[in-house]
Amino acid sequence: MSAELKVGVIGCGGHAQTHFAMIKNEPRMRLIAIAEIHEERLARAKAEHNPELAFHDYRDMLDSVDLDVVYVITMPGHLRSIVLECLGRNLHTSVEKSPGMHAEETKQMRDAACKSKGKAIVSLNRRYIPQILAVRQLLQEHGGAVQVAANYHKPVSGLARLGRRGIAPSEIVCDAIHHVDLLRWMAGRTPLEAAEAVEVHAHSWHGDRDGTPRYNAIITFGNGCHGTMMSHYGVGYRIQTAEVHAENMSAYLDLTRAPQIVLYLDGKLREEPLDLDAVGGPDFNETRHFADCILNDTTPWSPLADAVKTMDLCEAIEQKHCGKL
């Protein structure tokens, strides 16, 4: 394989635009082909991103174009069959979150990835934010997180409407999964570990209005770290925050817009900026990581096998599970 990875994108809706930008900024990737069933979106993506080839049917793209990597960026209800097809063809495959409608679908994709020569990455993109990687490195230098907490709040959700069409799961699986996964990632005590939840006490209910689920959970991780999470829809604003604590270290993360981190070490506010160069630089992202993995034959930090654990935890919180997992 040459150092230039030939890329195809399946699904050219709203979120695909973020992936198109990352692919464009990754010098080792070249966008070759796109597939989209919606006529207007296909035409717009063709005009804006200039692929060599554009298809209505993704199977025609896979049959006729020699690709190395495929990004599958559809709603969760459409993902599984496409991902299974791509992995069956031994293509390196980026799987949008949530990886399927429920954990069983994630497991089917995981099993297909085990048999495939292609690598699979799940686009749990909070794992790849440089500031998060830098805080995580500091946590590990301080013996690992002892307590992690995350908030993920939003206005009223429109996902229930998509849920009724069978293409989106509940808010915690489809959306707040970002901060459930962030808890696991921050609680990891070694560079590649995302901590595994062994016990959860969840208190979840639905508000009076459509699209207002409420989730709260206290989580125990197998490595001894503890976590709490709160996610409410139909509250004031889109707010994404987290806080993490280790021995003599605390970090407060505001991820609502560009990441802002307030860090305390040994009882003092740390004024100097985080060392982002030590974790791949300020432009590091999931796409760069995926290219690294493919070209160096290493495993992505968010493989399907690990995403199953995040999906299981989301579902346990949704089901108000109280006790060991």
Ligand X SMILES: NC(=O)c1ccc[n+]([C@@H]2O[C@H](COP(=O)([O-])OP(=O)(O)OC[C@H]3O[C@@H](n4cnc5c(N)ncnc54)[C@H](O)[C@@H]3O)[C@@H](O)[C@H]2O)c1
The binding site for ligand X (CB under 6 A) comprises 10-16, 35-38, 41, 58, 73-76, 78, 82, 96-97, 123, 125, 174
Q: How far is the CB of 125 from ligand X (least distance, A)?
A: 5
Q: How far is the CB of 260 from ligand X (least distance, A)?
A: 18
Q: How far is the CB of 250 from ligand X (least distance, A)?
A: 26
Q: Is 6 or 154 the residue whose CB approaches ligand X more closely?
A: 154
Q: Is 15 or 89 the residue whose CB approaches ligand X more closely?
A: 15
With CB atoms as reference, the residue minimizing the distance to ligand X is 13
Q: Is 20 or 58 the residue whose CB approaches ligand X more closely?
A: 58
Q: How far is the CB of 283 from ligand X (least distance, A)?
A: 17
Q: Is 141 or 283 the residue whose CB approaches ligand X more closely?
A: 283
3 state SS for the chain = CCCCEEEEEECCCCCHHHHHHHHHCCCCEEEEEEECCCHHHHHHHHHHHCCCEEECCHHHHHHHCCCCEEEECCCHHHHHHHHHHHHHCCCEEEECCCCCCCHHHHHHHHHHHHHCCCCEEECCHHHHCHHHHHHHHHHHHCCCCCEEEEEEEECCCCHHHHHHCCCCCCHHHHCCHHHHHHHHHHHCCCCCCCCCEEEEEEEEEECCCCCCEEEEEEEEECCCCEEEEEEEECCCCCEEEEEEEECCEEEEEECCCCCEEEEEECCEECCCCCCCHHHCCCCCCHHHHHHHHHHHCCCCCCCHHHHHHHHHHHHHHHCCCEEEC
Q: How far is the CB of 193 from ligand X (least distance, A)?
A: 22
Q: Is 73 or 138 the residue whose CB approaches ligand X more closely?
A: 73
Q: Is 70 or 73 the residue whose CB approaches ligand X more closely?
A: 73
